[in-house]
A and B are shown apart, each in its own frame.
Chain A
């Protein structure tokens, strides 16, 4: 019974660490990722209905391709890939990269050579060992089957580079898990002059003023209105902490009580009034609306969404290029039963008739600042993981662990002189071709280091013989 269970476990582990299984997972991940890149993510259903062909929009929404990166299938595939990588690393790759010191058939290794050196066995062995040790090779000896083998390793420790790289991945994953377990993030918008409280930690933000700078720049294809700076002047107080005056700008987050606050966006909030036959209707929010927000038109099936702010209304009620509020207006999307039926450009502080006696009017804009916040206790671990990963990759890529297998065999006596044939074979973790020039240079140096010895040409056997 125990054997059967063990066999089943081995079979499952073998399948999970199988190369082609991993490739298949990567292919599926690649396709899903590509879908995520091509299909806009995280938008409202109305966005797809407006911008995509109806059939495609339905497909996107039904298959939940609008949020693919957070789908169970996508996370599941990533989990399987990680499991596959981990198993392949520990089950197959690392054991293969850390081979035990064991003798080989020298002639069967594609990189092999032999050098004849005069002298008794102990002297020849000592010379050979000194030769390799003097060139930075780690020399070790083992006796196997009555034959004394000498093993010389270069960058033997670097065989663990792949393990180090994978440890880096594990640290990154651990750091990310820390965030999931103990971190939080969110975003909030503060209207100029108002105060918000961050629900997770009680920090209070008051936006005193929001400043922006957009410069008209003359380019070859015309005037471009380039954003130069976004700045929020805020008063901030951590829970039970003193009130401080701070400046928040892009790329310069504020650190308040181990939570970072970022200048993420800004916009123009606009209050709306809706009337029917001149009488105000109550179902319009009293607070100014931000882009994307909306309200129902009375008790009809229609609704209005504040789509975007227009800084400058051009001649003939067109949208001007200058985003700065010179002659501002708003674009409203009109929906009926959830279906987009049209757009209308409404100048601020003026109104537009919607039919059936309905009339909507946009008031004066109020600037708001979009702030993102994040408390992430896993960041140091992720940073360390990135460093370890990079170290492991550099070890893997730039160092070439190689092993020389050396054995001595008596050479035929000539003129009563004792000599030994030094057989050398080499293996590396990156194949034979990459080490060939170095190997031949090494053999040549060994040959030349013994001027009194006679050498026999080394031979390089075909790669195919070993594969």
Chain B
């Protein structure tokens, strides 16, 4: 087993162990599980970057010229973006899902690892060091946004199943009062004189069901409020969309240098434009009260499906100017 393979093995093992730790934390809210998962997320991410750098230095071939390299960077960047957001907004509860996806993508990347292949002429450009990392980073951000939007949907429909219909946050806001759960997720009543938050509270039905001991309600109450999850998704998409925009622009500039036209309606370009439109739509619609929340969560989840189609579907199944599998 060479150094390259050892590093990959360490990364995958770290992600799997981190996934288990974070899933335990997600389900039980045991702090030790979170504290155990965090180092594994760091180890996996750092090891992956080391592996890509090692690959570059030993072969003198830029590692992102094939699907293995880009998928590997995708997994590493998604974990890196997750860590940055988790440190800033305490998102460790999402760690199990992000690390599981990262491990899955990394394992899938291995199936495309054919060794060190020099780049084909079209890829022998400095643009590859700009365009590909930007685009792959945007995909990674959208993956993290996908996880938070799916958690939003889980919480939304969980709350609805307890309440039996309606819109939880609005209902809570409209009625006010009741005990509340901080985002820190301990069951504490708000101080008397403190302003009642919009985003800090769950629906009163969820709160009362949790107080009554409903296990689903108790567990749902440990998740951040719907409004908070919605804002988290928005903030992550706010990172991903500009990255994708710059990625498309640099790609167009590169295409102009390599092929003579900055836009050729190649399947990859078209699919990327479609995904960009979905996320641009998300950002526009998020400014509207009627769309913020549930509809935007569905849109962010759908957006990531289009990203997967753009990334893997086009590369693998559809031939075009971007068919760089090996």
Interface of A with B (CB < 8 Å)?
Answer: 26, 30, 33-34, 36-38, 41, 69, 110-111, 113, 185, 215, 217-221, 224, 226-230, 249-253, 260, 262-264, 372-374, 379, 382-383, 386, 389-390, 393-394, 396-398, 429-434, 436, 440, 443, 457-460, 462-465, 467
Contacts and interface: CB of A to CB of B under 8 A. Distances in A.
A226 B118 contact: yes
Given A36-B270, A433-B227, A460 B198 contact: yes
B283 A396 contact: yes
B283 A397 contact: yes
Interface string B250-280: 0011001111111001010011011001000
B81 interface: no
A185 B259 CA distance: 11
A36 B326 contact: no
Nearest to B248: A386
A251 B260 contact: no
B249 A251 contact: no
A433 B265 contact: no
B83 to A, nearest CB: 20
Given A37-B314, A185-B260, A390 B289 contact: no
B122 interface: yes
A260 B200 CA distance: 58
The 6 closest A-B pairs by CB, nearest first: A462-B173, A219-B114, A250-B121, A372-B260, A262-B260, A251-B125
B257 A463 contact: no
Interface stretch (B16-24, B39-47, B214-222, B230-238): B230-238
23 contacts: A30-B277, A34-B274, A36-B267, A41-B265, A217-B115, A224-B114, A253-B260, A264-B259, A382-B262, A386-B252, A389-B245, A393-B245, A398-B238, A429-B287, A431-B287, A431-B292, A433-B199, A433-B292, A436-B199, A440-B195, A463-B169, A463-B173, A465-B173
A215 B121 CA distance: 12
A443 B274 CA distance: 43
Interface of B: 113-115, 117-118, 120-122, 124-125, 127, 169-170, 173-176, 193-200, 227-228, 230-231, 234, 238, 241-242, 245-246, 249, 252-253, 256-262, 265, 267, 270-271, 273-274, 277, 281, 283, 286-287, 289-290, 292, 314, 318, 326
B265 A69 contact: yes
B262 A251 contact: no
Contacts of A458: 195
A37 B287 contact: no
Contacts, number: 155
A220 B259 CA distance: 31
A69 B124 CA distance: 29
Given A215-B118, A433-B292, A459-B196, 11 more contacts: A30-B274, A37-B267, A251-B122, A390-B242, A429-B287, A430-B234, A430-B286, A430-B287, A433-B230, A463-B170, A467-B170
A260 B113 CA distance: 37
Nearest to B314: A37
B173 A464 contact: yes
B198 A433 contact: yes
A467 B227 CA distance: 15
A185 B117 contact: no
A379 B283 contact: no
A110 B198 contact: yes
B258 A250 contact: yes
A260 B197 contact: no
Nearest to A26: B277
Given A36-B270, A462-B176, A262 B238 contact: no
A58 B115 CA distance: 43
B129 to A, nearest CB: 13
Contact of B113 (A220, A464, A467): A220
Contacts of A219: 114-115, 117, 326
A178 B312 CA distance: 35
Nearest to B309: A37
Nearest to B169: A463
A434 B120 CA distance: 47
A191 B314 CA distance: 34
Nearest to B280: A393
Given A219-B326, A228-B121, A390 B257 contact: no
A394 B271 contact: no
A38 B318 contact: yes
B114 A251 contact: no
A185 B261 contact: yes
Nearest to B291: A19
Contacts of B227: 433
A433 to B, nearest CB: 5
A230 B169 CA distance: 61
A464 B199 contact: no
Given A397-B242, A398-B238, A251 B115 contact: no
B125 A37 contact: no
B118 A228 contact: yes
B263 to A, nearest CB: 9
Contact of A460 (B121, B196, B252): B196
Given A26-B277, A457-B194, A227 B173 contact: no
Contacts of B262: 382
B196 A264 contact: no
Contacts of A389: 245
B64 to A, nearest CB: 16
Q: Which of B120, B195, B258 has the most CB of A within 10 A?
A: B195
